[in-house]
């Protein structure tokens, strides 16, 4: 959580960070926080501001990802119901099946890439520790 970082931030910096999370541009965030553009850009160079903003953005993305997982599960259920319903137009059923297959393949690909990245990260850590043993993926 970002609670500890807030101790080293000014009230204006906290307002600016909150505005950065809700406004589409730095300029609008500056307006909302009541600071000049120059001050806003200066804040973005402050380590505590950058760190707190990144933590809060990560927290927002985590919540969004959780919501997307739930929505995805519901969407697959709907597509599956359509695909399995013999009363539905065969073209629509085929499209539902196609959507499920395409997303399944994309998910499989993404997990494969994530696995490879994790393996590479571990190898880099080993090499940086002085262990020159490098395995091939």
Of residues 4, 39, 40, 1, the one with CA closest to residue 19:
40
Confidence of residue 2 (pLDDT cuts 50, 70, 90): very low
pLDDT score for 82: 94
Which of 42, 60, 84 represents a domain boundary (last residue)? 84
**Judgement on whether residues 68 and 95 belong to the same structural domain of the protein:** no
> Where in the sequence is the domain holding 35, given as residue range(s)?
1-84
Residue 119 predicted with pLDDT over 90: yes
- Assess whether 75 and 101 both reside in one domain: no
* 34-90 pLDDT tens trace: 999 999 999 999 999 999 999 999 999 999 989 988 888 899 899 999 999 999 999
- The whole-number pLDDT of residue 103 equals 87
Residues 4 and 51 both lie in one domain = yes
Q: What percent of the chain has pLDDT over 90?
A: 72
- DSSP H helical ranges for the chain: 3-6, 11-22, 26-33, 37-43, 47-84, 90-128
Q: Clarify whether residues 135 and 76 are in a common domain.
A: no
Judgement on whether residues 80 and 127 belong to the same structural domain of the protein:
no
Q: What is the pTM of this model?
A: 0.57
On whether both 108 and 129 belong to a single domain, the answer is yes
Mean pLDDT of the chain: 90
Q: Are residues 69 and 11 in the same domain?
A: yes
Give per-residue burial for 104-121: e unless 16+ CB within 10 Å, then b. eeeeeeeeeeeeeeeeee
Q: How confident is the model at residue 135 (pLDDT cuts 50, 70, 90)?
A: low
Q: How many domains does the chain have?
A: 2
Same-domain status, 79 and 93:
no
Q: Give the pLDDT confidence score for residue 130 in this predicted structure.
A: 80
In this structure, are 4 and 70 located in the same domain? yes
Does residue 76 sit in the same domain as residue 102? no
Whether the pLDDT of residue 137 is over 60: the answer is no
Output the CA–CA distances (angstroms, integers) from residue 106 to 40, 103, 127, in the order listed.
39, 5, 31
Residue 108 above 60 pLDDT?
Answer: yes
């Amino acid at each position: 959580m970002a609670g500890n970082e807030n101790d080293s931030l000014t009230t204006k910096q906290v307002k600016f960070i909150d505005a950065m999370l809700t406004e589409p541009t730095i300029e609008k965030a500056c307006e909302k926080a009541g600071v000049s553009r120059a001050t806003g850009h200066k804040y973005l160079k402050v380590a505590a501001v950058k760190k707190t903003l990144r933590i809060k953005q990560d927290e927002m993305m985590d919540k969004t990802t959780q919501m997307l997982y739930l929505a995805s599960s519901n969407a697959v259920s709907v597509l599956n119901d359509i695909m399995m319903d013999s009363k539905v137009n065969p073209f629509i059923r085929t499209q539902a099946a196609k959507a499920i297959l395409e997303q399944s393949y994309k998910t499989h690909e993404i997990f494969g890439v994530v696995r490879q990245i994790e393996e590479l990260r571990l190898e880099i850590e080993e090499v940086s520790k002085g262990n020159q043993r490098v395995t091939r993926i």
